[in-house]
Amino acid sequence: MNGANGSTQNHFILLGFSHNPYLERTLFVVILIAYLLTLVGNTTIILVSRLDPHLHTPMYFFLTHLSFLDLSFTTSSIPQLLYNLNGHDKTISYTGCAIQLFLFLGLGGVECLLLAVMAYDRFAAICRPLHYTVIMSPRHCWGLVSVAWGCGVANSLIMSPVTLHLPRCGHHQVDHFLCEMPALIRIACVNTAAVEGTIFVLAVGIVLSPLVFILVSYGYIVRAVLQIRSASGRQKAFNTCGSHLTVVSLFYGNIIYMYMQPGNSSSQDQGKFLTLFYNIVTPLLNPLIYTLRNKEVKGALSRLLWGDREVRKK
């Protein structure tokens, strides 16, 4: 027993998609391309938001942090996945697994709260326009982002050790492509009902509470937008909020399905593809959602690429 536990403490084996070598080859190419596009897209959003003075507003301040989160979140697991897909070695050290789990939970928690902060920003802009600059002062914006980071990290500091310290009786094959919480719970050799209950309670605070806040905020926003008399004003408000709502739907749709249910209740293969979508597709789509539907970002890109004179000519 001790020897088995010792080996578990040294490494894990991430089975991933090893049962289907042909799928692994296809996934390697697709994920590599998607990852590179994710890096380019989110880095572009960060650079444009920082370099263009027209975008030095709270909305783009938060969007910059969202892009940084997406970059960090994807990079915490995709390089390891690409390494595993490209060879026969599927191992990950215990330390590497712990770091991956901590980052995955922490960054995911921060993003939940940051999306709620972005909803609050839209609420202040549309429902309290005369007081917006006071409500969303630079100091307040930094304070909101700091709270989001603090709560996300604190949540991970609680959930990661609880998950990693479960007895596994020598089991070290994780039926997933990363050290994800439900997959690690599944290989425990003890009753995990108490752990899953604790995780559910914490998930309510870090996942559902921000979602409820977002929905309530948008309830007030919709009511305020419907009171705008000009059709162009309503359209502009809906376009601004539409990008954020699309991102919220993509993010929360996956995370709630994965984490707000017991660890053994869903198909493992389905869980892998949901995590893959949540880990690579959502960060890839976020920059597209915010640029394709946003004239300010497209204008800033044009100014940076061609300069003000060329933009005026066009």
> Residue 161 carries which side chain, given as an amino acid letter?
P
Domains of the chain: 2-313 (1.20.1070.10)
**Using H for helix, E for strand and C for coil, what is the string for the chain?**
CHHHHHHHHHEEEECCCCCCHHHHHHHHHHHHHHHHHHHHHHHHHHHHHHHCHHHCCHHHHHHHHHHHHHHHHHHCCHHHHHHHHCCCCCEEEHHHHHHHHHHHHHHHHHHHHHHHHHHHHHHHHHHCHHHHHHHCCHHHHHHHHHHHHHHHHHHHHHHHHHHHCCCCCCCCEECCCCCCHHHHHHCCCCCCHHHHHHHHHHHHHHHHHHHHHHHHHHHHHHHHHHCCCCHHHHHHHHHHHHHHHHHHHHHHHHHHHHHCCCCCCCCHHHHHHHHHHHHHHHHHHHHHHHHHCCHHHHHHHHHHHHHHHHHHHC
**Alpha carbons 17 and 149: distance in angstroms, whole number:** 32
Alpha carbons within 13 A on the beta-carbon side of 140: 14
Q: Enter the tokens of residue 137.
A: 């002062």
Q: Specify the pLDDT at position 85.
A: 86
Burial 4-29 (b: 16+ CB within 10 A, else e): eeeebeebbbbbbbbeeeeebeebbe
Cβ pair 208, 255 in contact under 8 A: no
Which residue from 194, 228, 199, 168 is spatially nearest to 1, judged by alpha carbons? Answer: 168
Can you give the pLDDT of all 314 residues of the chain as single tens digits?
Answer: 344 344 345 888 888 887 777 888 888 999 999 999 999 989 988 988 888 887 888 988 999 999 999 999 999 889 988 888 887 778 888 888 899 999 988 998 899 999 999 999 999 988 888 899 999 999 999 999 999 999 999 989 988 888 888 888 878 888 888 888 888 888 888 888 888 888 888 878 888 889 999 999 999 988 888 887 777 777 777 777 888 888 888 888 777 666 555 444 445 666 777 788 888 888 888 888 877 666 777 777 777 777 655 444 54
